Amino acid sequence: MSGKAVISLSTGLEDAEKVTVAFLVAVGAAESGRPTLMFQTKEAVRLALDGVATGVACDGCPPLPDLLARYDKAGGQYMVCPICFNAKQLDKGSLLPNAELAGTVQLWEWIGDQGATTFSY
């Protein structure tokens, strides 16, 4: 099995191109068989809510809903910073099925002793 991949994303739809790049990297990792986790903080926590990640970032960019669907189908997971999420008073009942509120301790537990390839956006 390929090594784990962690994509750390702190940007939300205020920079849709950066979000698209992060999802392209995450989809590539997950579709290649790597256990893949996206750790979302700051404004990116909103992207783990059903119906938020919509639109197309640029001419020629894939639609965000398509990237999320591919990520989900490939087994990609989200860990959503609970501090950031709760500070925004968001509804955890609206989280995507493959998303969970989890902090840095859970992130390190998921990474484990074998480590992971990381990307940060």
Sequence ranges of the domains in the chain? 4-120
Euclidean distance between CA atoms 94 and 46, whole angstroms: 10
Instruction: Report whether pLDDT(49) > 80.
Output: yes
CATH no., domain 4-120: 3.40.1260.10
Say what the pTM is: 0.94
Pair 41, 84: CB distance under 8 Å = yes
Model pLDDT for residues 2-30, shown as the tens digit of each residue: 699 999 999 999 999 999 999 999 999 99
Phi-psi domain of 59 (left: phi exceeds 0; alpha: psi -120 through 50; beta: other) = beta
Question: Nearest Cα to 43, choosing from 65, 67, 63, 19?
Answer: 19
What's the one-letter identity of residue 121? Answer: Y
**Eight-class DSSP state of 119:** E
Per-residue pLDDT averaged across 43-70, rounded?
A: 96
